[in-house]
Structure formats: structure tokens, C-alpha cells
């Protein structure tokens, strides 16, 4: 995935986190409106599926690069150069992944507060 639209350094980290936050909010809202109400899912199921969908869509590329770098043996400079050349801003990859995961969770929870939470309803979606 081409992430060249993101800035470098901490600016890119905050931009990626903002994207993950908005994605979590939107995905929870869509999941709640399209599937959760009809299937009478609990809030926990909606939150879980929305969080997983947000991780795959908003954080998937960076998570994959981080996991891939941990799996592939980095024995030669050619391998290291090839892998790092495909990553946008490899110096801040770990920071970007952590911020994306935290922002995705905040986005999903903000979506739950806006769309799914009802006072006195014990977190159950509204009918």
C-alpha cells in the first residue's frame, strides 16, 4: 500500500492515527446500522467486529510490514534494503503502529458512544 500521502516523522504518525480514529468511528457506525441492529448483536460483538475491521483497513499495511520484518531473516544487506525500501518512513513504523491501534480503539469506542450506547441499556444496541 502506498502511504506517500502521509508526512514524515511524528507528523505522519499523527496523520495515520487520525485516519485510524475516523475509520473506527465510521466502521462502527456502519456495522451498527447495517448489521448490528438487524442481527440484534450485543455491544461487545459490535465493538469487537468494528475494531477488527478497523485494524485490517486502517492499520493493516503497517501491521503487516512490522510483522513481516520480524519473520523474515535479515541476514544480508540486500534483503534489508529491499524490505525497507517498500516501507514509508521505516524509522517511525513501530510508533505509527502503536498510535494507529490506540486511535482505532478510541474511534470504535467513540462510535459506540455516539451510535450504540443508551443510558440504562447496559450497552445493548437500541431496537
For Cα atoms 18, 59, 56, give the angle at the middle one, nearest 5 degrees.
Answer: 125
Q: What pLDDT, in 10s, does the model give residues 13-23? A: 899 999 999 99
Q: What pLDDT, in 10s, does the model give residues 46-101? A: 999 999 999 999 988 889 888 888 888 888 888 888 888 878 888 888 899 999 99
In Å, how far from its chain's centre is CA 35? Answer: 20
How high is the pLDDT of residue 122?
54
pTM score, whole prediction: 0.83
Sign of the alpha-carbon dihedral angle for 59, 62, 65, 66: negative
Three-class DSSP category at 34: helix
Residue 11 has pLDDT above 70, yes or no: yes
Distances (CA, A) of 6 to 9, 19, 81, 115, 119: 9, 10, 21, 29, 39
Amino acid at each position: 500500500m502506498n502511504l506517500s500521502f502521509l508526512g514524515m516523522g511524528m507528523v505522519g504518525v499523527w496523520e495515520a492515527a487520525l485516519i485510524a480514529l475516523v475509520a473506527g468511528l465510521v466502521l462502527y457506525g456502519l456495522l451498527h446500522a447495517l448489521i448490528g441492529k438487524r442481527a440484534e448483536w450485543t455491544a461487545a460483538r459490535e465493538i469487537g467486529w468494528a475494531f477488527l475491521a478497523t485494524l485490517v483497513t486502517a492499520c493493516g499495511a503497517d501491521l503487516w510490514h512490522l510483522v513481516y520484518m520480524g519473520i523474515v531473516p535479515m541476514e544480508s544487506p540486500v534483503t534489508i534494503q529491499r524490505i525497507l525500501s517498500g516501507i514509508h518512513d521505516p524509522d517511525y513504523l513501530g510508533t505509527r503502529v502503536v498510535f494507529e491501534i490506540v486511535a482505532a480503539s478510541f474511534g470504535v469506542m467513540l462510535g459506540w458512544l455516539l451510535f450504540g450506547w443508551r443510558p440504562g441499556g447496559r450497552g445493548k444496541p437500541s431496537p
